[in-house]
Structure 1
C-alpha cells in the first residue's frame, strides 16, 4: 500500500513538472499593425507654442510630446506596441468606422493604445477572420483627462495644453494614453472594423498569438 501511494505521488509530481515546463515554453508573438495610413487626427505638438495645429478635442486641446517611445517596440509590463509617429503630422485615428486590413495574422489577443475625450465610452470592435466569420469585442476607452475607469493601464502621461484666442497655455491636468489587452476568438485575422465614434482615439494596435515552442 505504501509503495502504491509513493508511486502515485511520484507520478503526480512528474505530471506537475511537465505542466510547469510546458507553460514556460509558451511565448507571446506580437504583430504590430501599421495604422498610420488611417490617421486622421493630430493629438501631439512637439512644444508649447501659439501656432500649434494639434487638436484632439476639436476645441484646441492637445498633448505636448515628451517621454514617448515611437517608431520602435514600446514595452510596458505585458503590453507591447509600435506607435508610428512623425512630428507635426496626424498621429492617431479618430474613429469613424474605419476598416483596417490585416495581412492574415494568427492571433488570440488584441491590444489597444488609445483614449477618449468628452466622456468615457465602451464601443464594439469587429474582428473578421480569413474564413469570413466576424466576432465582436467590446473595448473600453476612458477619457484622457482622468484616471481610467475601465481598468486600462496608464501607458503614458504628459502635459496637456489648450489653444484659445491665439494663445496656448498648459492645462491644469495631465493627458493620458491608455492600454488594454482583450482576448479574441483565436484565428487568422484579416480585418478590424473600428467603431463610429469620433470621440474615441486609437494610437496603436497589436495582435498577439500564443506560440508553444
Structure 2
C-alpha cells in the first residue's frame, strides 16, 4: 500500500532555543544528518508516495534545502496552523484518502515505524498511531498519553507515548471550524467513535525537542 506522507516542519521550536533562533528545528543535525532528512529517509525506506512538508519559522531554509527534490511545500508563512490546520491546508497537495504524518523532531531505533503502521493499517480504522511505552522513551518530560483496549483502540491516559508517526483519514477535518488546531481534536472525534487505534513500537525513541536531547539521541543512534 502506497500512501502520501506529511512531515510537520512548521513549528517555531521554542523549546530548542537558542539553536532555533537561526535554524528551523527540522534542519538541526543529529548524528550528522538533519532531522528533516532522517524523516524523509524513513518515508522513502517505507515506500511512501508523494511527500509534503509544511513550513513557517525560517521556512526559506527548508525550502532551499529541498530545492530540486520532488517534495512539495505547504507554506504557512502567513499563519502557523498547528498540526490539524496544517494537515487540512496541505490536503490539495496530498490528495484524497489516508495520510501518513510524521513529526521530524524524534529519533527511532528498532525498526521503521512507518513500515509497521502500513502493515497494520485496516480499512475500518480512521487513525492508527505509533505509541512507545514510557520506559522506552528518552528525553521525554511528563507521563504517557494513551493506553489501548483489548482490540487495540485508543484510550486517553496511560503509559504509552504518542511517538509522532501515524496514519490518519483527514475527512473529518472539515468538522472543526478553527483555522489553527491540534490533531488532538480529530483524535477525540475518532476515539468517541471507537475508530482510533494504536500499535506499540518495539524499540527505543527519543524526543529531540531541546538542546540537551541531542546528545541523548546521538547516544541512542550509536549505541
TM-score range, shorter chain: under 0.3
Using structure 1 for the length normalisation, give the TM-score: 0.26
Greater RCO between the two (CA within 8 Å, min separation 6)? 1
In our comparison, the structure showing a higher alpha carbon Rg is 1
TM-score by length of 2: 0.25
The structure carrying a bigger strand percent of its residues is 1
Q: Which structure has greater helix proportion? A: 2
